[in-house]
Amino acid sequence: MGKSVLNHLGIIMDGNGRWAKKRGLKRTKGHEQGAETIRDITMFCAQHPTIETATFYAFSTENWKRPKLEVEFLMKMLDKYLKNELETYQEHNIRFLAIGNISSFSKALQNRIKKTEDLTKDNTNLTQILALNYGGRAEITLAVNSLIEEGKTHVSEEDISAALQTPYSDIDLLIRTSGEERISNFLLWQLSYAELYFTQTLWPDFTSKELGDIIKSFENRSRRFGGV
């Protein structure tokens, strides 16, 4: 039996707040450490021989329910992260892409996102996708409505796949950190045949070594895609 090949990795980053609370720190410190983890894991993926796309669940449509100051901090941190990472993206040939409804963000942050996408659009080593103000049901609904607007009266699975914001392969492996075992409205269409892995590790403590071990476990799984 051949190894399962990992092309598209999805990660639900969970546990920043609990990481900070355990250390008697503000939740914002957990988010700052979590951003460092995104950088480390992205670099690991860029160096991995088969990973083409890494999609991180950064801000869900439900995250607006968090305290206003925390949301404002997350927006500022995202802007700073993209500004600082641009050099890394270019140096390591990484394309940046955002999915989700970014129209709710400030004009300055929208411009930062679009500028980063534009400047890295020709990079081919890895695509790093951040899901921002994203919800899986909303993505599917938007795709179907766009097809209706095109005049389609009958749609296929291929039509919907092509109309989604994530124009890449389906997820091969989904990892969620912090011990929670649910997918939280993340990439519902693309997760149809994904292998799922849940780790107790809080996201700021998640390392490339643990990811490497999880990938080894994934490679030894038999993926049947509904067959025998």
How many whole angstroms separate alpha carbon 95 and alpha carbon 116?
A: 9
Start-to-end CA distance of the chain, whole Å, equals 13
**Choice among 16, 40, 63, 205 that is catalytic:** 63
Which stretches of the chain are DSSP H helices?
16-22, 27-47, 68-91, 107-120, 136-149, 157-163, 208-219
How many whole angstroms separate alpha carbon 14 and alpha carbon 170?
A: 22
Active site residue 205: no
The tokens describing 17, both together, are: 């707040």
**Choice among 14, 16, 123, 172 that is catalytic:** 14
How many whole angstroms separate alpha carbon 217 and alpha carbon 113?
A: 34
Long-range contacts of 81-85 (CB under 8 A, 24+ apart): 81/35, 81/38, 82/112, 82/113, 82/116, 83/112, 85/39, 85/116
**CB distance 85 to 46 below 8 Å:** no
Q: Which residues, 6+ apart, have CB-to-CB distance to 54 below 8 Å?
A: 8, 9, 10, 11, 41, 42, 45, 126, 127, 128, 129
Tallying the residues shown for the chain, one arrives at: 228
Active site residue 63: yes
Catalytic residue positions?
14, 63
